[in-house]
Amino acid sequence: MSLLEVRSVKKVYTTRFGGNQVQALSNVSFSVEEGEYVAIMGESGSGKTTLLNILASLDKPTSGEVLLNGKNIVNIREKDLSAFRREHLGFVFQDFNLLDTFSLKDNIFLPLVLSGTPHREMEQRLSPLAKKLSIADILEKYPYEVSGGQKQRVAAARALITNPQLVLADEPTGALDSKASAHLLRLFEEVNHDGQTILMVTHSIGAASHAGRVLFIKDGEVFHQIYRGGMSDDQMYQSISDALTVITTGGESR
Amino acid sequence: MSRLFYPKLAAVNLRKNARTYFPYLLTCIFSVAAFYIMGSIGQNPGLSSLRGADTVSMMLFFGTIVIGIFSLIFLFYTNSFLIKRRKKELGLYNILGMEKKHIARVLTFEMLIVAVISLTLGLLGGMLLSKLLFLLLLNVLGIQTSIAFMVSVPMIVTTILLFGGIFLLTLLSNLLQVKLSNPINLLKGGQTGEKEPRSSIILTILGVLSMGGGYWIALTVKDPVTALSLFFLAVILVIIGTYCLFTSGSIAVLKLLRKNKRFYYKRKNFIPVSGMIYRMKQNAVGLANICILSTMVLVTVSTTVSLFVGQQDILDSRYPRDYAISVTDSEENRQKVDELMHKHADDAGVNPVGVVRYRSFKLALYQQENSFLTDIPSDAQTSSALQHVVAVTFVPLEDYNQVANTSLALNDGEAMVYSSNLDFNLTSMTFGGKTVQVKEKLTAMPFAQFTPEMVSDNLYVVVKDLDTVKSIRDALVGKPDYIPLFTIYNRDVAYNLEFDLNGRDNAIIGFAQSLEQDIRTTFKDTTRNVDSYHLKQDEFKSLYGGFFFLGIFLGLLFLMATVLIIYYKQISEGYDDHDRFDIMQKVGMSRQEVKQSIRRQILMVFFLLLVVAAIHLAAAMPVILKLLLMFGMTKTWLVLTCAGVTLLMFVVFYLLIYSLTAKAYYRLVQR
């Protein structure tokens, strides 16, 4: 059984007064195996973010199913949703979403505190993670005192500290310079290598070329996918780039 | 570019920022109106024709100045809030290609619009309301006259000058801020100073000390005279303490909580504690302002209300008889006073009843244990000297027996004593070398007690006969270098005539005035004293009615300021919390949880204020009671009831305002 199964998900937005209907996702199906590192690519407006929001249970599909470990997350009741998100999913956002009111350490602890984890266990979980993400010496600082790359690594630590079944990353390198991006992507690879399943939405070819598989979305459907197989990062980069050229020039091949 | 471009842009800006500018405009209008009303009532010619007009117009003048100063500070403060919110917008203009001088032009036009609207509406409203409020004032003073509607031109000019000045000053400070900042700063203006607050130990200690000092003064003050001199100091100390403790103390406490890992990393404490640290830093000064303003409302209103409600009691206790005359004692004077009384009574058609006649010698003395001195000793502390001053009245036994309808007897060197101080326990007393033994403590005195306001204790000493009174007089004031502590008393033995009056109110007033006039001229060469309950009643009405009017008026003004600060606080918190609200939901809190946690924090902040204001009021009560004692207000329960009712009404009003503004807040957070 796959870790994540998306079955014929459709999402239609209706404007507030009923008038126009916008179809963001028409028919999306794919699955992610445990331990995979999947990137989802597509142009602006292709439905990437809508898909991620549905996977994150922040939004509900108009029709279709999303199974995480065989459980349909579409049917989870509203009041159990936040606990579900906290325990099974980890998030990394483009704009970090760290709270200025907390020190970096407390930002990382936030989901654990919400789940009622004892303080001693929090510290035990944090120390290897902080070392791995090389943020151990800035933990007492505040978000406004550190660089973007450091913020994003802290956000990654917050996503990983709950040992989630799936990490969802939304353009994680979008706000970072190339050096910080490279560092973060390398860390993602390492984390994935240790067995963490990652699903990343991006339109950076560089970011996607680190993934084990790349899905292309166009007009609300999965249009194409590339498996890494034995390819190096550079070869991967080349074939993603080729695929994108085909997609944007309007080729119909599948 | 059209010439109307800038005015138009300014108008559009104001309309777009209506959520914050509308309350500001309302405040301006209200302040202008309040200033004009207070000033124009004071200058109303109708007022000067009334009895006690001097007292009332002095008070109104004082009130006008208070409103002026308050408006200056408050409008300036509110504006700083507005301009901070708008920095991003101004920065955007700058980046889009407007030069700073163009922005300055827009700001100038905006201020011009605000000034014109608030002065026009404020003055119009003021003119309409001043008539109403003047009638209200007359009603409070218990005077019924018809006074024509009038517009005070000098007051209009003063108002325009004052508020024009305030607006100009605000504009200049805004322009300076724009001039001093670059576009990036302007763009980020709303977010500057997000750093975690530092709590200073020194400030916290200073806060604790001054708050403690203020409370200590308030709670330990023994007598009205000291209360008066220390009240101001206590108020200043408590204000300093409140500011320090809100800004520094609160954060120190919260950080201490955060240090306790077991406590801090608990689901129910984690977000409130850190959120409060952040909130207190941004809002501490504003919150301290609200707290102090609320306390001011509570103290002003409850004091003036209790004086107003209790004025009849004060009058009754201070003037037990309707009329009292006191002149230098002689056979001739006695006859003259009696004649005058009967003559004026017949003329006015009133009937003197329960007439009491007695002789006495009265003066103020400094009490040192059991000896009474005519001077304050040079080693006495000046601040507390007045608490030892006692008003002493010597009465011959013969007169006492006659008035009290008793037949008591005394030997040489013996005395019967009545003291208004219940702790009085002397067994012998020395007056200028003459010692008397206290034979008996009396529980009541049949004479009216006229006590000067500064002296708290009244002592009556009944001695064997008039000769004894005279010998004590000679021993005390016979020296040529004698300077009295208070000049209002007779230097000689006085003849007192006290009586009640029957008749129509107008007739009694007429009688009281004409008799007083006559006695003043007849006895112009000797000391004489006239007190009329009915004349005092009018004086009291204008004094306490004036206080009451002023108290309510200023109370309302402070209340308006409180409301506005609360509203602005809610709005700015709403903008700030919106993003955090979002992030917390993404990280795994449900909508409900976030909402609950925010509500709890806001409730904590705003109700902390209410509690502190109530504690301040409670701590101020002993001082207020002492001060009111000077006005002759002895009914503690009445004052406490007034304070309680005021507090209750304030709490209800506060809750109302809170819930209304909280709605604006939630709308912002959930947008």
Q: Name which of B194, B266, B274 is nearest A106 (Cβ-Cβ).
A: B274
Cβ-defined contact of B593 to A82 (cutoff 8 Å): yes
pLDDT at A253: 46
Selected residue with higher pLDDT from B112 and B489: B112
Structure token pair of residue B193: 């100073």
Cβ-defined contact of B592 to A79 (cutoff 8 Å): yes
What is the mean predicted confidence (pLDDT) over A173-179?
Answer: 85
What is the mean predicted confidence (pLDDT) over A129-154?
Answer: 88
Structure token pair of residue B462: 């009944």
Q: Are B642 and B305 in contact (CB under 8 A)?
A: yes
B670 Cβ under 8 Å from any chain A Cβ: no
Amino acid (1-letter code) at residue A71: K
Residues in chain A within 8 Å Cβ distance of B195: 142, 144
Cβ-defined contact of A102 to B274 (cutoff 8 Å): yes
B583 Cβ under 8 Å from any chain A Cβ: yes
Kind of pairing between the strands at B528-532 and B428-431: unpaired
| pLDDT over 50 at B364, yes or no | yes
What does residue A210 show for φ and ψ, rounded to 5 degrees?
A: -85, -15
Q: Could you report the per-residue pLDDT of A220-239, keeping only the tens digit for each?
A: 888 888 888 888 888 989 98
Residues 157-196 of A with CB under 8 A from B: 158
Instruction: Among A91-95, B244-248, B279-283, B504-508, name the one with the lowest average pLDDT.
Output: B279-283
Residues in chain B within 8 Å Cβ distance of A158: 587
Q: Name which of B262, B274, B589 is nearest A101 (Cβ-Cβ).
A: B274
Residues 72-91 of A with CB under 8 A from B: 78-79, 81-83, 85-86, 91
Q: What is the DSSP string of B487-556?
A: TTS-SS-EEEEEEEEES-HHHHHHHHHHHHHHHHHHTTTS-EEEEEHHHHHHHHHHHHHHHHHHHHHHHH
**Alpha-carbon torsion, ordered B378, B381, B386, B390, to 10 deg:** -60
Q: How many CB atoms lie within 10 A of CB B202?
A: 9
Cβ-defined contact of B592 to A58 (cutoff 8 Å): no
pLDDT at B193: 40
Instruction: Give the residue among B198, B181, B197, B201 at the shortest CA–CA distance from B189.
Output: B181
Cβ-defined contact of B590 to A58 (cutoff 8 Å): no
Distance from CA of B584 to the nearest CA of A (A): 8
* A3-39 b/e (C-beta count within 10 Å ≥ 16 → b): bbbbbebebeeeeeeeeeeeebbeebebebeeebbbb
Q: How many CB atoms lie within 10 A of CB B17?
A: 16
Cβ-defined contact of B265 to A158 (cutoff 8 Å): no
* Residue percentage of chain B with pLDDT more than 70: 89
Distance from CA of A105 to the nearest CA of B (A): 11
Cβ-defined contact of B195 to A86 (cutoff 8 Å): no
What is the mean predicted confidence (pLDDT) over B377-383?
Answer: 65
Q: Could you report the per-residue pLDDT of B499-546, keeping only the tens digit for each?
A: 888 888 888 888 888 888 888 888 877 777 788 888 888 777 777 888
Instruction: Give the residue among B542, B483, B494 at the shortest CA–CA distance from B519.
Output: B494
Rounded distance between C-alpha atoms, residue B345 and residue B510, angstroms: 10
Instruction: Give residue B250's Cα distance to chain centre.
Output: 28
Rounded distance between C-alpha atoms, residue B224 and residue B158, angstroms: 38
Residues in chain B within 8 Å Cβ distance of A99: 580, 583-584
| pLDDT over 70 at A33, yes or no | yes
Residues 492-551 of B with CB under 8 A from A: none
| pLDDT over 70 at B197, yes or no | no
B589 Cβ under 8 Å from any chain A Cβ: yes
| pLDDT over 90 at B647, yes or no | yes
Q: Would you say the C-alpha torsion B422, B426, B428, B432 has a positive or negative sign?
A: negative
pLDDT at A38: 93
Rounded distance between C-alpha atoms, residue A102 and residue A109, angstroms: 10
pLDDT grade for A17, boundaries at 50, 70 and 90: low
Q: Name which of B195, B265, B593 is nearest A122 (Cβ-Cβ).
A: B265
| pLDDT over 60 at B195, yes or no | no
Of B581, B587, B594, B596, which to mutate for an interface test with A (greatest number of A Cβ within 10 Å)? B587
What is the mean predicted confidence (pLDDT) over B562-577?
Answer: 79
Long-range contacts of A32-36 (CB under 8 A, 24+ apart): A32/A2, A32/A3, A32/A4, A32/A5, A32/A166, A32/A197, A32/A199, A33/A2, A33/A3, A33/A197, A34/A2, A34/A3, A34/A195, A34/A197, A35/A192, A35/A195, A35/A196, A35/A197, A36/A3, A36/A197, A36/A198, A36/A212, A36/A213
Strand order in the sheet with A71-72: A71-72, A63-68, A4-14, A21-32, A221-227, A213-218, A37-41, A198-202, A166-170, A89-92
Long-range contacts of B1-6 (CB under 8 A, 24+ apart): B6/B102, B6/B105, B6/B106, B6/B109
Residues in chain A within 8 Å Cβ distance of B583: 97-99
Q: Name which of B277, B278, B588 is nearest A82 (Cβ-Cβ).
A: B588
| pLDDT over 50 at A158, yes or no | yes
Q: Residue B322, SS3?
A: coil
Q: What is the mean pLDDT of chain B?
A: 81
Residues in chain A within 8 Å Cβ distance of B588: 82-83, 85-86, 110-111, 114
Residues 6 or more apart whose CB falls under 8 angstroms from that of A169 comprise: A91, A92, A159, A188, A198, A199, A200, A201, A202
Q: Could you report the per-residue pLDDT of A71-113, keeping only the tens digit for each?
A: 888 888 877 888 888 888 888 888 888 888 888 999 999 888 8
Kind of pairing between the strands at B351-368 and B371-373: antiparallel
A125 Cβ under 8 Å from any chain B Cβ: no
* Residue percentage of chain B with pLDDT more than 90: 10
Instruction: Give residue B147's Cα distance to chain centre.
Output: 29
Rounded distance between C-alpha atoms, residue B525 and residue B328, angstroms: 10
Structure token pair of residue B275: 């959120």
Cβ-defined contact of A113 to B580 (cutoff 8 Å): no
pLDDT grade for B454, boundaries at 50, 70 and 90: very low
pLDDT at B52: 62
Instruction: Among A71-85, B49-63, B91-105, B395-409, name the one with the lowest average pLDDT.
Output: B49-63
Angle at which helices B53-85 and B533-587 pack, to 10 degrees? 10
Amino acid (1-letter code) at residue A100: D
pLDDT grade for B32, boundaries at 50, 70 and 90: very high
Burial class (CB in 10 A: 0-12, 13-18, 19+), B317: middle
Q: Name which of A109, A114, A119 is nearest B588 (Cβ-Cβ).
A: A114
Cβ-defined contact of A93 to B580 (cutoff 8 Å): no
Rounded distance between C-alpha atoms, residue B582 and residue B664, angstroms: 18
Q: Are B138 and B147 in contact (CB under 8 A)?
A: yes
Selected residue with higher pLDDT from B242 and B425: B242
Distance from CA of A244 to the nearest CA of B (A): 31
Number of residue pairs across A and B with CB atoms under 8 Å?
63
| pLDDT over 80 at A199, yes or no | yes
Rounded distance between C-alpha atoms, residue A103 and residue A108, angstroms: 9
Helices (H), B319-348: 331-348
Q: Are A162 and A121 in contact (CB under 8 A)?
A: no
A237 Cβ under 8 Å from any chain B Cβ: no
Cβ-defined contact of A142 to B195 (cutoff 8 Å): yes
Selected residue with higher pLDDT from B147 and B208: B208
What is the mean predicted confidence (pLDDT) over B137-154?
Answer: 72
Residues in chain A within 8 Å Cβ distance of B584: 99
Nearest CA in chain B to A81: B590
Burial class (CB in 10 A: 0-12, 13-18, 19+), B295: buried
B193 Cβ under 8 Å from any chain A Cβ: no
Distance from CA of A116 to the nearest CA of B (A): 6
Distance from CA of B251 to the nearest CA of A (A): 13
Q: How many CB atoms lie within 10 A of CB B232?
A: 9
pLDDT grade for A57, boundaries at 50, 70 and 90: confident
Helices (H), A138-177: 148-160
> Mapped to the 3 state alphabet, what secondary structure does B185-227 carry?
HHHCHHHCCCCCCCCCHHHHHHHHHHHHHHHHHHHHCCCHHHH
Q: What is the DSSP string of B442-473?
A: -S--SS-----TT--EEEEEEES-HHHHHHHH
Residues in chain A within 8 Å Cβ distance of B261: 119
A254 Cβ under 8 Å from any chain B Cβ: no
Highest mean pLDDT among A52-61, A148-157, B367-376: A148-157
Nearest CA in chain B to A100: B194
| pLDDT over 80 at A180, yes or no | yes
| pLDDT over 90 at B167, yes or no | yes
Nearest CA in chain B to A158: B587
Q: Around A232, how many Cα atoms within 13 Å sit in the side-chain half-sphere? A: 2
B575 Cβ under 8 Å from any chain A Cβ: no
C-alpha separations of B57 from A142, B66, B231, B281 in Å: 58, 14, 25, 43
Cβ-defined contact of B587 to A142 (cutoff 8 Å): no
Distance from CA of B608 to the nearest CA of A (A): 21
Cα-based angle B177, B181, B183 (whole degrees, multiple of 5)? 125
Residues in chain A within 8 Å Cβ distance of B283: none
Residues in chain B within 8 Å Cβ distance of A83: 588, 590
C-alpha separations of A66 from A70, A81, A170, A215 in Å: 9, 14, 18, 17
Structure token pair of residue B32: 């202008």
C-alpha separations of B450 from A86, A212, B179, B399 in Å: 79, 102, 66, 18
